[in-house]
Amino acid sequence: MFARAVFALAAAAIAPAASAQGSTADEIAKYRAALREGNPAELWQARGEALWREKRGPKHVTLEGCDLGLGPGIVKGAYAQLPRYFADADRVMDLETRLVWCMVKLQGYTESDAKRNVFGSGNDKKSDLEALTAYITSESRGVPMKVPLSHAKEMEAYRVGEKLFFFRGGTHDFACATCHGEEGKRIRLQDLPNLMTAEGAQKAYTTWPAYRVSQGELRTFEWRLYDCFRQQRFPELAFGSEAAIALTMYLARNANGAPYDGPAIKR
């Protein structure tokens, strides 16, 4: 119901501006500013923090011993340095993949249990991973992005991610670069960031996860990639897959230097 109320607000804010494009963009910006205070993402953050501290799983322990890269239990600023290489797993992981790892290793969940509902849908299908991601990312707000490329596997993930960015396939020949490789472009009325530049990557990457008003859901960066590939007419990007992590590495690293600014709110 909360989501529906927010959606109605969105429609009310956008509708009067339909007369001209410039003013539509202005109105969308005003509407976003108005909603920044009281972003519904806070509901996901609060639920995620409770999940982080709650004794759960077959082993009945909390996630507070989970090492997100800065040491066990250190949450503050951790997201600003992800993805990164984890020696215990001997691979590069993004936040969502690392959370699944901790749920399996610390709490004793099976991997398929940990990955149940990776993307939520209303009250019937809430996603614990989205909530946990909202909480962890909120603890990096204001922290400059500082994704490392010091390990050979981090460098490899970055370079593979760059290749994937240009990979054309499917029925429509689309690659990420088709929409996100040039300055100042739009799809319909939606501005498209050039993700190959620091400025474009910073603006885009630092504002995920985001509460999507049109969906009434908080969405993570894994979701953003999944949905981009859907629109590219590709098959389904598997959650936590190497492609998802490599692309995240490419984009997160390109965003280095900018203060992380999520969870945000988006149309």
Q: Which residues are catalytic?
A: 228
Q: How far apart are the first and last CA of the chain?
A: 17
Tell me if 163 contacts other proteins by CB under 8 A.
Answer: yes
* Residue 172 binds to other proteins (criterion: CB under 8 A): yes
Q: Which is nearer to other proteins, 41 or 176 (CB)?
A: 176
Q: Whose Cβ is closer to other proteins: residue 32's or residue 185's?
A: 185
| CA proximity to 265, closest of 231, 200, 215, 228 | 215
**Which 3 state secondary structure label does DSSP give 168?**
coil
- Give yes or no for residue 125 binding other proteins (CB under 8 A): no
CB of 59 to other proteins, least distance (A): 30
SS3 29: helix
* Residue whose structure tokens are 């098959």: 235
- d(CA 266, CA 212) in angstroms, rounded, equals 5
> Is 116 a binder of other proteins (CB under 8 A)?
no
* Nearest C-alpha neighbor of 195 from the set 209, 211, 176: 176
181 binds other proteins (CB under 8 A): yes
Tell which one of 1, 37, 71, 184 touches other proteins (CB under 8 A). Answer: 184
Residue 229 is given by DSSP the state H
- Near other proteins by CB under 8 A: residue from 46, 143, 243, 258: 243
Contact 253, 84 (CB under 8 A): no
Q: Is 144 in the site for other proteins (CB under 8 A)?
A: no
Contact map string, positions 28 to 57, toward other proteins, x by CB under 8 A: ------------------------------
Task: Kindly state whether residue 229 participates in binding other proteins, applying the rule CB under 8 A.
Answer: yes
Q: Any idea which residue has 């490419």 for tokens?
A: 250
Dihedral of CA 187/193/196/201: which sign? negative
* 198 binds other proteins per the rule CB under 8 A: no
Question: What's the sign of the alpha-carbon dihedral 176, 177, 182, 186?
Answer: negative
For residues 4-33, which are near other proteins according to CB under 8 A? 18, 20-21, 24
Count of residues in contact with other proteins, rule CB under 8 A: 50
**Residue among 185, 143, 176 nearest 250 (CA):** 176
Does 242 sit near other proteins (CB under 8 A)? Answer: yes
Token code pair at residue 138: 């909120």
- The contact set with other proteins (CB under 8 A) reads 18, 20-21, 24, 152, 155-156, 159-160, 162-164, 166-175, 177-179, 181-182, 184-190, 192, 196, 229-231, 233-238, 241-244, 246
